[in-house]
Amino acid sequence: MPDAPVTAYIGIGGNLGDARATVERALRALATQLPGCQGLRASSLYRSAPVDAGGPDFVNAVAALQTTLSPLALLHALQALEQAEGRERPYRNAPRTLDLDVLMYGALRLDSPELTVPHPRCHERAFVLLPLAELWPEGVRPDALAAVADQRIERL
In the set 47, 99, 121, 125, the catalytic residue is 99
Confirm whether 92 is a catalytic residue: no
Q: Which residues contact 91 (CB under 8 A, 6 or more apart)?
A: none
Q: Give the C-alpha separation, 11 to 133, whole Å.
A: 12
In the set 41, 87, 89, 150, the catalytic residue is 87
Confirm whether 96 is a catalytic residue: yes
CA 23 to chain centre: 10
- 3-class state of residue 128 by DSSP: helix
In the set 101, 109, 141, 143, the catalytic residue is 101
In the set 57, 89, 96, 125, the catalytic residue is 96
Q: Give the C-alpha separation, 156 to 153, whole Å.
A: 10
Q: Which residues contact 143 (CB under 8 A, 6 or more apart)?
A: none
- Cα Rg, the chain, nearest whole Å: 15
- Backbone region of residue 93 per phi and psi (left: phi > 0; alpha: psi in -120 to 50; beta: other values): left
Residues with active-site annotation: 87, 96, 99, 101
